[in-house]
């Protein structure tokens, strides 16, 4: 089914919040995020994604280093990664499928 493009920072925030609500309670990968400070992490993720999508320059971190540390604490396998991707895709399908637009006009203002 056709999907909407993400066109605003507000939409990124909704997608990311919805995604991590799923991640936190997920049986397979939730425990890997148990010690994350969400008040600090979520804004970093908004910046990461708005830089990835809109080239805003808001993110200049080092995800590889963070994930090496995360992996040292809780080893990540291919199955964990697949689960992360499945939750991400489920979030996109839930929020951005054309026939079920969740975002109001205000949220779609750039």
C-beta closer to ligand HEM: residue 54 or 84 = 84
Task: Name residue, tokens 């109001």.
Answer: 104
Binding to ligand HEM (CB under 6 A) within 53-72 occurs at: 61, 63, 66-67, 70
Q: Is the dihedral of CA 90, 91, 97, 100 positive or negative?
A: positive
Q: Where are the alpha helices (DSSP H) in the chain?
A: 9-24, 38-54, 63-73, 78-96
Q: How far apart are CA 12 and CA 7, in angstroms?
A: 8
**Least Å distance between CB 26 and ligand HEM?**
10
Would you count residue 80 as binding ligand HEM (CB under 6 A)? yes
Q: How far apart are CA 82 and CA 89, in angstroms?
A: 10
C-beta closer to ligand HEM: residue 71 or 109 = 71
Q: How far apart are CA 58 and CA 47, in angstroms?
A: 5
Single out the residue of 10, 41, 58, 108 in contact with ligand HEM (rule: CB under 6 A): 41
**Least Å distance between CB 106 and ligand HEM?**
27
Residues lying near ligand HEM in the complex (CB under 6 A) are found at: 29, 32-33, 36-37, 41, 44, 48, 61, 63, 66-67, 70, 76, 80-81, 84
């Amino acid at each position: 089914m056709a999907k909407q493009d993400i066109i605003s920072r507000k939409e990124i925030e909704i997608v990311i919040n919805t995604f991590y609500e799923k991640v936190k309670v997920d049986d397979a990968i939730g425990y890997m995020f148990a010690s994350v400070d969400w008040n600090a992490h979520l804004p970093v993720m908004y910046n990461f994604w708005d830089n990835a999508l809109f080239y805003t320059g808001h993110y200049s971190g080092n995800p590889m280093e963070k994930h090496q540390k995360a992996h040292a604490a809780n080893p990540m396998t291919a199955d964990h990664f697949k689960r992360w991707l499945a939750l991400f895709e489920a979030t996109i399908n839930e929020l951005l499928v054309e026939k079920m637009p969740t975002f109001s006009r205000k949220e779609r203002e750039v």
